[in-house]
Amino acid sequence: MHFENIRDDTEVSPGLLIERARVASRSTWVSVVVNLCLTLAQVGVGILARSQGLIADGIHSLSDLVADFVVLFASHHSKKEADEGHPYGHQRFETAASLVLGLLLLAVGVGMLWSAVRKLEAPETVAQVHIIALYAAGGALLAKELLFRYMLAAARKVKSSMLVANAWHARSDAASPLVVGIGIIGNLAGYPILDPIAALIVGLMVARMGWTFGWSALHDLMDHAVDEQELQAIRQTLTGTPGVHDIHDVRTRKMGDMIVVDVHIEVDAGKSVAEGHDIAVLARQRVLQRHPVLNVMTHVDPWRPASPPDVERTPGLSDPVRATE
């Protein structure tokens, strides 16, 4: 399993958000068509060929179909602009969609595990499959690998972590028919127990991925901070702003694929309030232009070169000046 840390060093504009939603919708509809065809083909052939592994993979494709509609719903709502009830926008619709997708995969994986274990408990009930099941598994493998490559390219184009998650979800789908195909080959070679074993492995893969996606989304919904690499990049942008001597108390939290930042910046105590405000506005603009940041709340503190760094600031002289424009 592989994850990507999507980072954007260009200005995040409303146009990019609209483009992201458009690409998400188009790529997801392609996935809908592919998964619908695979579901019908795999379940139908699996029943006729008596392959539990192929039926399990068909149910997996059905769960993908439901997940695709979750992504479509989220991409539609996440592109809405900020309003009175949602001053930071609706970016967390994507995070919520990832959580739902994770829970869905976890439930489907557990169901597959239960069904496979019951078969393994009664191996005499496992029938020999027909060779047509192997052809169906090969076709599913090719279709899902091509779908993965298409969706990952689209996700990288618009730098969307939700679409990256959905693309790697498709890659896991490409692995499952491979496992199923191996199980079918073993069944045809005289080892019928390998077919439910393949179904068991597919169930483990799906459940593990569901847990990973769900846990990651839950962390983001709980205002999880960004990774250290992104944090250091933001700090460098702030400290490189003309007039900023130092920064402290930098806090970040995820808002979908975007970031919200709170920071205290230190400017020369001899500058006027207006000058301090202008420096804070410049620092904010630089961060918004260079990082996937939705909003920056800056607090201006006085910087005095004669004061030791460990001397506590005098109350009343370090009251923050907010710059949000």
pLDDT at residue number 264:
93
At residue 261, φ and ψ (nearest 5 deg) are: -120, 135
* CA-to-CA dists, residue 24 to 59, 90, 117, angstroms: 24, 16, 37
Tens-digit pLDDT profile for residues 226-252: 888 888 999 999 988 998 988 888 888
pLDDT tier, 7 (very low <50, low <70, confident <90, very high otherwise) = very low
Give me Rg for the CA atoms of the chain: 26
Q: Residues with Cβ < 8 Å from 4, sequence gap 6 or more?
A: 156, 161, 164
Same domain, 249 and 318: yes
Same domain, 203 and 310: no
Residue 53 pLDDT > 70: yes
Neighbour order of strands in the sheet with 293-303: 246-255, 258-268, 293-303, 321-323
pLDDT higher for 124 or 198?
198
Average pLDDT, integer, range 52-58: 82
The answer to whether residue 258 sits within a structural domain is yes
Find the range with the poorest average confidence among 13-17, 64-68, 297-301. 13-17
In total, how many domains does the chain have?
2
The answer to whether residue 7 sits within a structural domain is no
One-letter identity of residue 39: T
Same domain, 126 and 258: no
Q: Do the beta carbons of residue 150 and residue 63 sit within 8 Å?
A: no
Enter the DSSP assignment of 188.
H
Residue 171 to residue 251: CA distance in whole angstroms = 35
Q: Could you tell me the residue range of the domain that residue 243 belongs to?
A: 228-323
Buried b (16+ CB within 10 A) or exposed e, 100-137: bbbbbbbebbebbbebbeebeeeeeebeebbeebbebb
Tens-digit pLDDT profile for residues 286-303: 998 888 887 888 889 888
- Of 201, 221, 241, which closes a domain? 221
* CA-to-CA dists, residue 292 to 96, 120, 168, 231, 258, angstroms: 19, 49, 22, 11, 5
At residue 25, φ and ψ (nearest 5 deg) are: -65, -45
Q: What is the CATH number of the domain that holds 26?
A: 1.20.1510.10
One-letter identity of residue 112: M
Q: What is the CATH number of the domain that holds 306?
A: 3.30.70.1350
Residue 12 pLDDT > 50: no
Same domain, 96 and 29: yes
pLDDT tier, 61 (very low <50, low <70, confident <90, very high otherwise) = confident
**Average pLDDT of the residues of the chain:** 77
Same domain, 145 and 24: yes
Say whether pTM exceeds 0.85. no
Same domain, 76 and 155: yes
Same domain, 19 and 91: yes
What is the sign, positive or negative, of the torsion defined by CA atoms of 47, 52, 56, 57? negative
Average pLDDT, integer, range 270-279: 88
Same domain, 165 and 40: yes
pLDDT at residue number 167:
76
